[in-house]
């Protein structure tokens, strides 16, 4: 009777094929598991409505650009990541004068993870023309895109500010 090591050596090719097939199944299983576990690459909520409204949003972006409006944003630090933060938005016209009388919303979008998207209504700060304040959840540090959708005298304006946020 032949020893086991000799039998394995003589029949190495079927064992090698079985190991290669097992490796393929293991790697494919790991890739499938990883693909279903990460939800950050999911489709953005209400993407169809956004596509339908694209022309209106583009026109409001052009309107604010032609008016020479600029927006500065400051995000306060938060002791806890999930806690809402104070966000101040200051809007100026092309002459550097504050723009008051705006109504609208500020939406925070995390380009790396659209699940973290949230928005709130801007509120004018009394006694400070052109300054608007709101509480907004910004739970992760890194690059955020802030979309200011405002209305003044029946005209829609849109400004997009990209900013790094620290915790």
Tens-place pLDDT, residues 150-160: 999 888 999 99
Express each pLDDT in 106-133 by its tens digit.
999 988 877 788 899 999 999 999 999 9
Number of CB atoms found within 10 A of residue 60's CB:
19
Asked whether the predicted pLDDT for residue 39 surpasses 70, the reply is no
Q: Which of the four pLDDT bands, split at 50, 70 and 90, describes residue 41? A: low
The pLDDT of residue 40? 62
Query: What pLDDT is stored for residue 160 in this prediction?
Result: 93
DSSP assignment of 14-54, as one string? HHHHHHHHHHHHHHHHHHHHHHHH--TTSPPTTHHHHHHTH
């Amino acid at each position: 009777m032949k020893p086991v090591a000799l039998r394995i050596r003589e029949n190495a090719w079927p064992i090698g094929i079985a190991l290669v097939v097992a490796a393929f199944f293991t790697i494919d299983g790991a890739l499938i598991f990883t693909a279903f576990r990460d939800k950050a690459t999911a489709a953005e909520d209400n993407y169809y409505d956004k596509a339908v409204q694209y022309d209106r949003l583009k026109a409001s972006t052009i309107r604010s650009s032609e008016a020479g409006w600029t927006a500065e944003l400051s995000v306060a630090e938060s002791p806890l990541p999930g806690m809402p933060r104070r966000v101040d938005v200051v809007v100026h016209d092309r002459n550097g004068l504050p723009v008051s009388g705006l109504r609208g919303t500020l939406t925070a979008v995390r380009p790396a993870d659209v699940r973290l998207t949230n928005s709130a209504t801007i509120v004018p700060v009394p006694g400070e023309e052109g300054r608007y304040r709101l509480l907004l959840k910004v739970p992760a540090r890194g690059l955020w895109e802030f979309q200011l959708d405002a209305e003044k005298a029946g005209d829609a304006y849109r400004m997009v500010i990209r900013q790094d946020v620290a915790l």
